[in-house]
Amino acid sequence: MNREEARLELDATTLRPQDASSEARAMLEGDAELAAWHAKRTAFDESVAEAFAAAIPAGLRESILQNAKRPAKRPVRWMMPALISAAAACIAGAWLLLWPVNGEMPAWQAESLAAVVQVEHGMMKLDDRAPDLEAVKKLLAATSSPSPQRLPGTLGGLPTFGCKRIRIAGRPATIICFKIEGGEAHLVVMDNARLNSAPPQMKPQFQTSKNWHMATWSDGSQTFLLATSASEQALKKLFGLT
């Protein structure tokens, strides 16, 4: 640091001497002429700083605080999560309104219907895709999964989308998805050994819950649930009842 650099730094720190570097302060101590100039400059700066007193307008502080209490756009920070939560609540509410499973159903039926609803809405993907029941049966046989030995009415001849392997009431089960008039029908098949509240043999029980129509029956060692969100008439037609 040369003398001129020290002078500039000392000039910039007359009112805040703590900001001056030790090098500049050392030069000040060893240079009488620089010290005299600095003392005079400091006196001038102190007198100016003292005179630098503009009156503060009355109420400025209060109006600053008042204005800041209503920063118009700031709620956006919490508004977005709130909107998302509200939308999620609406969706959940609508879902609950349409959720067909209820406490009056036997456990195996409630589980079966819940799985069917998830498959229909794409929340559960099919394991295999196949165009007809014979192809589906081959796929199921390959994995020893439950496969219908016999089906009522016209159901066996309908085109299929594929199948899904699941577990119902702690046992293996299969969902087979058929294409029917006005939508889809989903058949759940499982072994009924020690199954509580299994439906009667060979007598389909028809039920409706929310916008779902279903039929349940047993056939030998197998129990079935066939459910659709298409019309009740379309369901009954599958059993040759219309």
**Helix 22-29 and helix 3-11, axial crossing angle in degrees, nearest 10:** 110
User: CA-CA distance, 139 to 174, in Å (whole number)?
Assistant: 11
Give bridge partners of residue 201 from the DSSP assignment: 218
How far is the CA of 87 from the CAs of 40, 79, 91, 117, 209, in angstroms?
71, 12, 6, 22, 26
Give bridge partners of residue 3 from the DSSP assignment: none
Judged by beta carbon, residue 32 or residue 68, the one nearer other proteins is 68
DSSP state of 18: G
* 81 is an interface residue for other proteins by CB under 8 A: no
Taking CB under 8 A as the criterion, the residue among 22, 30, 32, 68 binding other proteins is 68
Judged by beta carbon, residue 5 or residue 23, the one nearer other proteins is 5
Q: Which alpha helices (DSSP H) does the chain contain, by range? A: 3-11, 22-29, 32-51, 60-68, 76-98, 107-120, 133-142, 232-237
Taking CB under 8 A as the criterion, the residue among 29, 30, 60, 104 binding other proteins is 60
What's the N-to-C CA distance of the chain in angstroms? 105
Judged by beta carbon, residue 42 or residue 118, the one nearer other proteins is 42
Binding mask 188-217 for other proteins (x = CB under 8 A): ------------------------------
Q: Binders of other proteins among 109-168, rule CB under 8 A?
A: none
Q: Binders of other proteins among 3-42, rule CB under 8 A?
A: 4-5, 7-9, 11-13, 15-16, 19, 37, 40-41
* 58 is an interface residue for other proteins by CB under 8 A: no
- Check if the beta carbon of residue 209 is closer than 8 Å to that of residue 113: yes
Place of tokens 């702690």: 170
Say how many residues make up the chain: 242
Taking CB under 8 A as the criterion, the residue among 53, 96, 123, 142 binding other proteins is 53
Taking CB under 8 A as the criterion, the residue among 32, 64, 96, 97 binding other proteins is 64
How far is the CA of 35 from the CAs of 2, 18, 42, 180, in angstroms?
15, 16, 10, 102
Identity of the amino acid at 203: K
Judged by beta carbon, residue 71 or residue 122, the one nearer other proteins is 71
Taking CB under 8 A as the criterion, the residue among 22, 30, 32, 67 binding other proteins is 67
Taking CB under 8 A as the criterion, the residue among 21, 25, 31, 45 binding other proteins is 45
CB of 29 to other proteins, least distance (A): 20
* 83 is an interface residue for other proteins by CB under 8 A: no
How many amino acids of this chain bind other proteins (CB under 8 A)? 37
Identity of the amino acid at 11: D
What is the contact surface with other proteins in residues (CB under 8 A)? Answer: 4-5, 7-9, 11-13, 15-16, 19, 37, 40-41, 43-45, 47-54, 56-57, 60-61, 63-65, 67-68, 71, 73-74
